Structure 1
Amino acid sequence: MSMAMSAWCLGFQFSAVTDNCLRTLEKPIFCVPLLKASSGFVATKPCCFLHKRRLLSSGTKIIPRAGAPVTDVQSGNQAETDTDPTPIVIIDQDSDPNATVVEITFGDRLGALLDTMSALKSLGLNVVKANVFLDSSGKHNKFSITKADTGRKVEDPELLEAIRLTIINNLIQYHPESSSQLAMGAAFGLLPPKEQVDVDIATHINISADGPDRSLFYVETADRPGLLVDLVKSITDIDIAVESGEFDTEGLLAKAKFHVSYKGKAISKPLQQVLNNSLRYFLRRPTTEESSF
């Protein structure tokens, strides 16, 4: 289907992340595909900021780790395995009009995350630690991120994906026990995931009404490097505008929420089916090519 590509109203612009940015990482993660200017991915609309509704972790289908209780050699008694918490990385473009907000959770195991902040600064970013709060799921570390050269929030999907993978790479590096809990553990960690996620089974897509001028698009699928960029591209390839978004990495799965529209209107039923079919086909394709790493 040959259709003009639509801009991301949030202000995301498909300008390629420079090689220098990615080379500054202590441990290479991946190089996003370069998108030429002729691709049409240029933001031409003002930023849209919406009231944020957090994607609830209770709706996520997390694949449990394989394993059974181990035996205590000294006492001969059976003890329960210390289950690792689920790593969560949330990229929030809605709650702050001036900055990209990132939230990281890994039970109560995360420290000050100074190494992670340093790695993000190496991408040409200003990073301010906003706050830390505790709840039943653990300690949540929140950062506010802006581009160092402009002082504005991050606008490029490729750079947002580089931020996400930088955080995950550092999480795996300094908390090796998280490796088998993350899809990227197969590429960057010592221990790959013990459970392989079937993309067809794990993928859930829902498009619902969100007023007369837009629809709420939700997708949950198996995580992989480059997924954020691929999702946005697959949506805009069929001339659907993405007005706002949140991207959550939860263990082996990724969840995305976008407010979308077609020519200023909500997505019609026929176009919803086109988007659903197109995205499912796209997600079944092989993961990011080796040359992209």
Structure 2
Amino acid sequence: MAMAMAASSLGLSFSTETNFRALEKPTCIAPVFKASSAFAVAKPIFILHKGRLSSSGTTIIPQAAPVADVEDGNQAETDTVPTPVVIIDQDSDPDATVVEITFGDRLGTLIDTMNALKNLGLNVVKAKVYMDASGKHNKFSITKADTGRKVEDPELLEAIRLTILNNMIQYHPESSAQLALGAAFGLMPPKEQVDVDIATHITISNDGPDRSLLYVETADRPGLLVDLVKIITDINITVESGEFDTEGLLAKAKFHVSYKGSAIIKPLQLVLVNSLRYFLRRPSTEESSF
């Protein structure tokens, strides 16, 4: 019912008062925490500390024990390191969350990544690998183990994303120089930081009479997906479904949004764009944050 009321595909149930903190050994508990009336109460899988989930805290990322070699057993360096890409797609499959991972031809079978996702209470129900000009694509469908349904909690979606990126850094350390997460967890942090003012682009277009398409491109950081959804829903705009892409140091989000069952009118579009732009340029972060 909450999904039908507020976010028919993403579900997007989240707490506005939680913050993942880095711990050496994540402990799995499921406290109940506050959620807006439009959303169902989520069951987080980490210890949550009071405060806002955003880039002000580092998200706990479940991971397997480190290994000396990369997943496919090949650590050979090349002149050009491909751009890591992680896509979380909520649109293409009504019954599962589709994840696609690309890192040139360097990815192995990603067995460890799938095991790490299982530690989040998820099942990988199907997977396939295909090649094209951009490299090897590992694509798999994920459902929640307890319900058999797609992931609907933005905090869990963010945990999925960061888990995948962390495993990529762990098994392909050369990728850390091209990922925002590499600044916190990688052996080789990015050589250049993205200028948020330059990198941020926001557009809204009509997507039929009942909804609009919101596109956001900005500098990546942990907690970004949850923060974007919170900003949107704080002004009573419904997030119905979407796609969240991590492309190197950038994050690109596409959300189908509506207001009271209709496409967003121009004045409200302006409010949404200004709210997002203000937050992305001036996030509520601590000086020592990621």
After TM superposition, the structure 1 = structure 2 runs for residues 209-224 of structure 1, keeping only pairs within 5 Å, are: 209-224=206-221
Could you tell me how far 1:11 is from its partner in structure 2? 4.5
Counterpart AA for 1:194 = K
Check whether the contact 1:13–1:41 (CA below 8 A) recurs between aligned residues: no
2:277 aligned with 1:275: no
2:81 match: 84
Instruction: Indicate if the aligned counterparts of 1:213 and 1:266 stay in contact, CA closer than 8 A.
Output: yes
Q: Tell me how far apart the structure 2 counterparts of residues 195 and 235 of structure 1 sit (CA, whole Å).
A: 30
User: What TM-score, normalized to structure 2?
Assistant: 0.77
Q: Which residue of 1 aligns with 2:60?
A: none
Report the equivalent of 2:48: none
Q: Is the 8 A contact 2:10 2:241 kept in 1?
A: no
* Maintained 8 Å contact 1:220/1:253: yes
Shift of residue 98 of structure 1? 1.0
Q: CA deviation at 1:285?
A: 2.7
Q: Give 1:104 deviation, angstroms.
A: 0.2
Counterpart pick for 2:257 among 257, 260, 265: 260
Quote the residue 2:184 is aligned against. Answer: 187
**What are the ranges of 5 or more consecutive residues in structure 2 without an aligned counterpart?**
42-77
Say whether the 8 Å CA contact 2:9–2:94 is kept in structure 1. Answer: no
Instruction: Give, as a single letter, the amino acid of the residue that structure 1 aligns with 2:124.
Output: V
Name the residue aligned to 2:239. Answer: 242
- The 10-residue stretch of structure 1 (90-99 or 125-134) with the greater mean CA deviation from structure 2: 125-134
Q: Partner residue of 1:10? A: 9
Summarize the Cα distance change of 1:35–1:232 in structure 2 as closer, same or farther, 3 Å threshold: farther
How many correspondences in the alignment? 244
Q: Which residue of 2 aligns with 1:62?
A: none
Q: Give 1:291 deviation, angstroms.
A: 9.8
Counterparts of 1:197 and 1:292 in 2: how far apart (Å)?
Answer: 16
**1:9 corresponds to which letter in structure 2?**
S
Which residue of structure 2 aligns with residue 154 of structure 1? 151
Match of 1:57? Answer: none
Whose radius of gyration is greater, 1 or 2? 1
SS at match of 2:150: coil
Shift in CA distance, 166/176, structure 1 to aligned 2, threshold 3 Å: same
In 2, Cα distance between the equivalents of 1:194 and 1:209?
38
Question: CA–CA distance in 2 between the matches of 1:35 and 1:275?
Answer: 30
Counterpart of 1:228 in structure 2: which amino acid? L
After superposition, give the CA deviation of every residue in 1:184-234 in whole Å (9 maximum; x if it has no partner).
100111111111101111000010111111111101000000001011111
Q: What one-letter code is carried by the residue in structure 2 that aligns with 1:227?
A: L
Residues 253-289 of structure 1, C-alpha deviations (whole Å, 9 max, x = no match): 0001011111111111111110010001111234755
Q: What is the DSSP-based 3-state SS (H/G/I as helix, E as strand, rest coil) of the residue aligned with 2:163?
A: helix
Structure 2 counterparts to residues 161-176 of structure 1, below 5 A: 161-176=158-173
Q: What percent identity do the matched residue pairs reach?
A: 78
Query: 1:158, CA displacement in angstroms?
Result: 0.2
Cross-structure match for 2:101: 104
Q: Are the structure 2 counterparts of residues 174 and 22 from structure 1 closer, same or farther at C-alpha, using a change threshold of 3 Å?
A: farther
Query: CA offsets per residue over residues 116-159 of structure 1, 9 Å max, x none?
Result: 01111011111134210000000000111111111111110000
- Is the contact made by 2:14 and 2:35 (CA closer than 8 Å) also made in structure 1? no
Asked whether the 8 Å contact 1:161–1:228 carries over to 2, the reply is yes
Verify the 8 A CA contact 2:10 2:90 in the aligned structure 1.
Answer: no
TM-score, normalised by the number of residues in structure 1: 0.76
